[in-house]
Amino acid sequence: MVVELISVGTELLLGNIVNTNARYLSEKCAMLGLSVYYQTTVGDNRERMAGVIKTALDRADMIILNGGLGPTEDDITKEVCAEVMGARLVEDPTVKAHLEEWYKLRMKSELPESNWGQALVPEGAVIFENHNGTAPGLAVEKDGKIAILLPGPPGEMYPMFEEQVCPYIQGKQSGIIRSQMIKICGFGESKVEEMLLDLIDSQTNPTIATYAKTKEVHIRVTARAETDEEAKKILKPVVKEIKKRFGNAVYTTDENETLEDVVVRLLTKYDLTVTTAESCTGGLLAGRLVNVPGASEVFRQGFITYSNKAKRKQLDVSKTTLRKYGAVSEQTAKEMATGGVFATDADICIAVTGVAGPDGGTPEKPVGLVYIACYMKDSVQVEEYHFNGNREKVREQTVVQALDLLRRSVLSHYKKD
Amino acid sequence: MVVELISVGTELLLGNIVNTNARYLSEKCAMLGLSVYYQTTVGDNRERMAGVIKTALDRADMIILNGGLGPTEDDITKEVCAEVMGARLVEDPTVKAHLEEWYKLRMKSELPESNWGQALVPEGAVIFENHNGTAPGLAVEKDGKIAILLPGPPGEMYPMFEEQVCPYIQGKQSGIIRSQMIKICGFGESKVEEMLLDLIDSQTNPTIATYAKTKEVHIRVTARAETDEEAKKILKPVVKEIKKRFGNAVYTTDENETLEDVVVRLLTKYDLTVTTAESCTGGLLAGRLVNVPGASEVFRQGFITYSNKAKRKQLDVSKTTLRKYGAVSEQTAKEMATGGVFATDADICIAVTGVAGPDGGTPEKPVGLVYIACYMKDSVQVEEYHFNGNREKVREQTVVQALDLLRRSVLSHYKKD
C-alpha cells in the first residue's frame, strides 16, 4: 500500500520548528510495510492545501495529514480535506461529550463556543479518541482511498497512532506485518551491513533495514504473513542469526528501550551503584544516565573534573601520572575510575578523558582521542577510541561508548559468576 | 519571490533521519524575505523526482533542491534537474580540479573514476564551491526560473549557503533584505508577543517574527529597502525599542551566539571561574557549559550530587537542612551553591535541585518544582521555578534558567562596580 504524508503548518514553512512528526510517521509506515514516496508540507492556506490533498489522493492509496486540527481559525485541515473528498461535516455526539468533559476537568470551564467546531467530523469517519488533547483523529474512506487526519502535537499524536491508528491500518492490509528491532552498539553502519550482506541480499520476506544512530545501529527485521503466528515464525530464525552474529553488541531487542535504560536495568538487577568521572564530556554521561526515571537508585553522584587540579583533588589522580602521561592518557583514565570508586561508596566508576576539540589536539594526541575506563570489583578496564567529527560529535560518541563499556563490564562480570 | 524546497533522500522517506535541512533552509528563506509555500521530500527515483521538480518550477520562482549530489548511482538530483530544465551537463574544469585536489589532500588517493560525474555541471550554471566536501552547489537559471542544488550534509550545505548562496539570492532580488536577531531568555512566547503587540500589529516594514525555543524567544526583525544603509535605518529604532522593553532579558543580538556562549564570554571577560552543583539536571548544566570551545578556562570542575549523602559529603549541605526543609528546597539550593564555592577555588557556583519526575512529586513539592541558586562574591541568590512538561522538558528548562541566572548574576555584580 502506498502512503503519502502531508504536514500542515505555517511554522514549518517559516522554519520555526523541525518536522519531527514526518520522521515519526515515516518510520511507523515503514514498520507497517507501507511505502512512502512523498512527504509534503503546506501552510494554513485553503487553496494550496486542497491542491496538495488532491494530488496526494491521486497518487497514493492512503494519505496521512498531520496538524491543523485545533480550534482556531487557522485550523482548516478537516474542513479542506472533507471538501476535497466530498464528505459533509456532521456533529459527533461522542466527540462533543469528550470536549465538554475535557474542558470541565482540565480547564475548569465550559466548552468555549469557538471550540464547538472540533466536534464536527466528516460523515462516516472513523474516530480516533484523543486521550491527551481535544482534537480527535479521523479516518475518512471514499472511493477506495483513505485520508487519516491526526493532531499536530507529538504528545497527542504518538499515543493515538500507536494505540488506534496502527491497528486501523493493519486492518486495511491483507495479512499481517510484524517487525522485530535489534539494537547494536559498537559497530558502524557499513560494518553491520557488511556482516549482514548475505542476509540482506537474499531478503524478500523478512526484510532487513538498518538505521544508523550515533555509535549505534538499529536493525529492523520485518515479516509479512497471513497470520501473526506465521509472521513470528518467519522472523525467528533471521532474528536469531543476527543476534548470533553480533553477540554481546546487541544491547536490546525492545523497540522502546534505550542504551541508558539497559544500563540502569542491569545495575538495578545486580544491585549495583555507579559513579561517573568526566573530563571532556563534562557531565553529559551522567546527564544521559539520569534520563532514566529511577536512575537515582543506581546513580547517586558524579564528578566533573575538567582541570588537572580537580582530577587530583576529587579523584586522587597522582601528580606524577598527570605529568608523565598527561590528562588524556590510559593511565589517567584508570586512576580517575579508581579514584571515583574510592571517593564514593559506588560499586563501579566509569571515567572519561579525551580531546574533544576544536583546540588542544597535538600530533601525538589528536582531536578525537578518548580514553574510557571502567573500575569494577577491584579491576579496571580501559579502552582507547579515535572519534571523528566536531566537538559535539566527539562528545556524543564518547557518551555512547562509555555507556556501552559500562554495560559490557557488568555483563562480563556477572557471566563469570 | 516565491521559493519551494525539495529534499531528496530515501532515508527521509523511511524515517531514518529528521529533515533538519528543511527547517534550516526555511528559516534562511524567511530571513531573505522569500515566501515558502511548499516543502516536498522525494526519494532517489527518476520519475517521481522529475515530477516534483516540474510541479515546483511551475508554481514557484525559485526551487532549492537539497541532497542527492554525491558520487553514488543513487545520486541523481543533478541529472534529473538538468533534464527537466533542458540543460546539458558539461565537465567543469574548476570543479574537476577541486575534486582531484580534495582526493589528493584528504583521501591521499587519486580521484576514483566513479567520482568524475561530480565534475559535470549543467551548462551555464553558477557554481558554489564546496569547502567541506566534494559536491559543488549549483544554480541553474532558465526561462525566468531558478533551480538551486545543494549537497545534503549540513556540514557542507550550511557554510555554502551562508557564504555563497545568500549573496547570490540577494543579488536576484530588487532591493535589500536585512534582518537583526534579538535573543531573549526568561519570557514565554505569548508574553513576548503580548509585549510586542503594538509593534507587530502595525508592522509592514520592518516585520517582526518570534521563534519559541526552550525558555527562550528569538525575535527576528527584518527590513526591506533599496540600500543596506536604508535597511539599517529602518531596523534601528525598532530594534532599540524591543531591546528597551526586554532590558536585561536580551542576552545577545548576535545570530550565532548561544546562551552558553554568552555566559562563557562574560565569565572570561571578568576573569571569573564557575563550578556547578547539580541534582535533578545530573550533569546537563555542566554539559551545556562545556559545549563552548575554551570553556575550560572558566569551568574547571563540577559536582553531580543526586543523593542526600553526596550533597552532604561533596557540598557540605547540613544534615539539619536536608531533614528540616528537604533536598528540594530554597535552603538546600543555597547551601549547595555555597558549598560548591568552598569545595573548589571557583568564584561562582550555580546549584540546581528539583523534582524532574515522573515520580517523586508530592502535593507540597510537585513535579516541576525547581530551585536554582547562584553563589557569587559572598552572597547567594535563589530562584524558585515551576516548570511544565515531562522529565526531559523539566531538565531542559532548568538548564536554560540556570545559565540565565548565572548570566544575570555576573551582569548585576559588574554593573554595581
- For B350-377, give the DSSP string: EEEEE--SSS---SSS-TTEEEEEEEET
- Of A143, A170, A197, the residue that ends a domain is A170
Q: Is residue A6 part of a domain?
A: yes
Is residue A108 over pLDDT 80? no
Q: Is residue A267 part of a domain?
A: yes
Q: Are residues B210 and B232 in the same domain?
A: yes
CB of A217 closer than 8 Å to CB of A223? no
Q: Are residues B10 and B156 in the same domain?
A: yes
Q: Are residues B238 and B374 in the same domain?
A: no
Asked if the C-beta of B107 comes within 8 angstroms of chain A's C-beta atoms, the answer is no
Report the pLDDT value the prediction gives residue A161, as an integer from 0 to 100: 98
Provide the residue range defining the domain that includes A129. 1-170
Report helix angle A330-343 to A308-315, nearest 10: 40
Give the model's confidence band at B74: pLDDT under 50 very low, under 70 low, under 90 confident, else very high.
Answer: confident
Report how far residue A182's alpha carbon sits from residue A239's, in angstroms, rounded to the nearest whole number: 8
Beta sheet of B216-225, edge-to-edge order:
B207-213, B216-225, B176-185, B250-252
Give the model's confidence band at A416: pLDDT under 50 very low, under 70 low, under 90 confident, else very high.
Answer: low
B305 Cα to chain A: minimum distance (Å): 5
- For A236-276, give the DSSP string: HHHHHHHHHHHGGGEEE--TT--HHHHHHHHHHHTT--EEE
- Of A137, A170, A203, the residue that ends a domain is A170
The percentage of residues in chain A with a pLDDT greater than 70, rounded to a whole number, is 100
Sign of CA dihedral A96, A156, B17, B1: positive
Q: Is residue B417 part of a domain?
A: no
Check whether the bond before B206 is cis (ω within 30° of 0): yes
Asked if the C-beta of B344 comes within 8 angstroms of chain A's C-beta atoms, the answer is yes
Q: Are residues A90 and A14 in the same domain?
A: yes
Report how far residue A22's alpha carbon sits from residue A6's, in angstroms, rounded to the nearest whole number: 8
Report the pLDDT value the prediction gives residue B382, as an integer from 0 to 100: 98
Give the model's confidence band at B315: pLDDT under 50 very low, under 70 low, under 90 confident, else very high.
Answer: very high
Q: Which of B129, B117, B20 is nearest to B69 (CA)?
A: B117
The CATH number of residue A50's host domain is 3.40.980.10
Lowest mean pLDDT, pick from A203-212, B60-69, B129-138, B241-250: A203-212
Amino acid at B323: R
Query: Grid coordinates standing for A72?
Result: 482556531
B10, B298, B301, B345, best to mutate vs chain A, most A CBs in 10 Å: B301
Q: Are residues A133 and A3 in the same domain?
A: yes
Average pLDDT over chain B, rounded to whole? 93
pLDDT (mean) for B8-32: 92
Q: Is residue A408 part of a domain?
A: yes
Asked if the C-beta of A94 comes within 8 angstroms of chain B's C-beta atoms, the answer is no
Q: Are residues B280 and B407 in the same domain?
A: yes
Nearest to A282 among B282, B287, B309 (CB): B287
Q: Is residue B292 part of a domain?
A: yes
Q: Are residues B42 and B133 in the same domain?
A: yes
Kindly determine whether residue B357 and residue A283, on different chains, have CB atoms separated by under 8 Å: no
Nearest to A290 among B212, B296, B306 (CB): B306
Percent helix, strand, coil in chain A, to 5, is: 45, 25, 30
pLDDT (mean) for B263-286: 97
Report how far residue B82's alpha carbon sits from residue A188's, in angstroms, rounded to the nearest whole number: 35
Average pLDDT over chain A, rounded to whole? 93
Give the model's confidence band at A212: pLDDT under 50 very low, under 70 low, under 90 confident, else very high.
Answer: confident
Asked if the C-beta of B305 comes within 8 angstroms of chain A's C-beta atoms, the answer is yes
Question: Which tens digit of pLDDT belongs to each residue from A119-130?
Answer: 999 999 999 999
Query: Grid coordinates standing for B261?
Result: 556562549
Q: Which of A329, A338, A343, A352 is nearest to A380 (CA)?
A: A338
Give the side-chain half-sphere CA count within 13 A for A53: 29
Report the pLDDT value the prediction gives residue B416, as an integer from 0 to 100: 57
Asked if the C-beta of A217 comes within 8 angstroms of chain B's C-beta atoms, the answer is no
Number of domains observed in the structure of chain B: 3
Q: Are residues A125 and A166 in the same domain?
A: yes
Report how far residue A20's alpha carbon sits from residue A35's, in angstroms, rounded to the nearest whole number: 19
Report how far residue B219's alpha carbon sits from residue B259's, in angstroms, rounded to the nearest whole number: 15
Asked if the C-beta of A284 comes within 8 angstroms of chain B's C-beta atoms, the answer is yes
Q: Are residues A286 and A398 in the same domain?
A: yes
- Of A170, A197, A217, the residue that ends a domain is A170
Q: Is residue A281 part of a domain?
A: yes
Report the pLDDT value the prediction gives residue B366, as an integer from 0 to 100: 94
Amino acid at B337: A
The CATH number of residue A364's host domain is 3.90.950.20
Asked if the C-beta of B199 comes within 8 angstroms of chain A's C-beta atoms, the answer is no
Nearest to B27 among A15, A45, A304 (CB): A15
Q: Are residues A150 and A197 in the same domain?
A: no
The CATH number of residue B221's host domain is 3.30.70.2860
Q: Are residues B230 and B334 in the same domain?
A: no
Question: Which tens digit of pLDDT belongs to each residue from A57-82?
Answer: 999 999 999 999 988 888 899 999 99
Q: Is residue A417 part of a domain?
A: no
How much is the ipTM here?
0.81
Question: What is the per-residue burial (b if ≥16 Cβ within 10 Å, else e) of A306-321?
Answer: bbbebbbbbbebeeeb
Report how far residue A283's alpha carbon sits from residue A353's, in angstroms, rounded to the nearest whole number: 12
The percentage of residues in chain A with a pLDDT greater than 90, rounded to a whole number, is 75
The model's pTM is 0.83
Q: Are residues A130 and A270 in the same domain?
A: no
Which residues contact residue A316 at a Cβ distance below 8 angstroms, ignoring those fewer than 6 apart? A335, A339, A342, A343
- Contact residues, A window 348-407, toward B, CB-based 8 Å cutoff: 356-359, 390-392, 395
B17, B19, B291, best to mutate vs chain A, most A CBs in 10 Å: B19
Backbone angles phi and psi of B223, in degrees to 5: -115, 145
Q: Is residue B53 part of a domain?
A: yes
